[in-house]
């Protein structure tokens, strides 16, 4: 394997799905939010992405079997709307810029092939003050204003590092629309509250406000 590789296990029937990406990063906010969405919707995995630029370790199950690091794609459905949700346990090294472009480019290629027209990436943003808040960046001022009206704060601090920002920016270059949701977090440790806040904001923005019955995150 000398480049990112996609393996499809099934082909769900999709009608203009929305793509949601949540990867590890600051506070693990994106990964936590994505897994809440996956569990809440009882989403089913259908594809996996592997890359030689992922870290050189394997994950070992409770039964002693090992597997390579990967990103997983899930199919979720809410009412008549299809969602493709992607998450994983790692990212390429932040120092390996080309690796991020390769992996995120492969992601955008795939979701474009699946017919996705709107992209949502979720991550964390480190802040010094303890304030529960969701920030938004978008592919257009109109989209940013739309989600600001739903309760997010415009993110204007300059940069979004890693796949959280790059996937959205590459999607924009392909003519896709989308947003990046950033949950405020105070550190690098897993921040379940920030992940939950980002998830609940996304569900509210989708018209599905969550008040109780949340699944446990891993």
142-176: pLDDT as tens digits = 999 999 999 999 998 778 989 999 999 999 999 99
In a domain, 215, yes or no: no
- Comparing C-alpha atoms, which of 166, 107, 109, 114 is closest to residue 137? 166
pLDDT at 186: 83
Count of domains in the chain?
1
**Count helices and strands in the chain by DSSP H and E runs:** 5, 11
In a domain, 84, yes or no: yes
In a domain, 213, yes or no: no
In a domain, 211, yes or no: no
Contact in structure between 115 and 14 (CB atoms under 8 Å): yes
pLDDT at 217: 47
Report how far Cα 31 is from the mean position of its chain's Cα atoms: 7
Residues of the chain with pLDDT under 50: 217-218
In a domain, 151, yes or no: yes
In a domain, 88, yes or no: yes
In a domain, 82, yes or no: yes
The residue range of the domain holding 152 is 5-205
- Comparing C-alpha atoms, which of 51, 62, 56, 63 is closest to residue 23? 51
CA distance 95 to 162: 10
Q: What is the pLDDT of residues 13-38, one digit of tens each?
A: 999 999 999 999 999 999 999 999 99
pLDDT at 207: 84
3-class SS at 26?
helix
State the CATH number of the domain containing residue 155.
Answer: 3.40.50.10900
In a domain, 49, yes or no: yes
């Amino acid at each position: 394997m000398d480049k990112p590789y996609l393996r499809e296990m099934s082909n769900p029937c999709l009608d203009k799905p929305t793509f949601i990406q949540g990867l590890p990063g600051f506070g693990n906010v994106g990964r936590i939010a994505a897994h809440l969405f996956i569990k809440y919707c009882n989403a089913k995995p259908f594809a996996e992405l592997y890359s030689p630029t992922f870290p050189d370790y394997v994950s070992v199950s409770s039964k002693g079997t090992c597997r390579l690091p990967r990103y997983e794609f899930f199919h979720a459905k809410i009412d008549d709307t299809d969602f493709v949700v992607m998450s994983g346990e790692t990212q390429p090294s932040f120092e390996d810029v080309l690796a991020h472009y390769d992996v995120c480019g492969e992601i955008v290629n795939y979701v474009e092939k699946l017919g996705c027209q709107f992209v949502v990436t979720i991550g964390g943003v480190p802040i010094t003050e303890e304030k529960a808040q969701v920030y938004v960046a978008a592919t257009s001022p109109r989209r940013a204003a739309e989600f600001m009206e739903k309760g997010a704060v415009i993110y204007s601090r300059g940069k979004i590092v890693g796949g959280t920002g790059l996937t959205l920016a590459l999607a924009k270059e392909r003519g896709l629309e989308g947003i990046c949701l950033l949950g405020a977090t105070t550190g690098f440790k897993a921040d379940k509250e920030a992940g939950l806040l980002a998830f609940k904001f996304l569900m509210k923005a989708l018209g599905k406000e969550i008040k109780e019955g949340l699944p446990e995150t891993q």
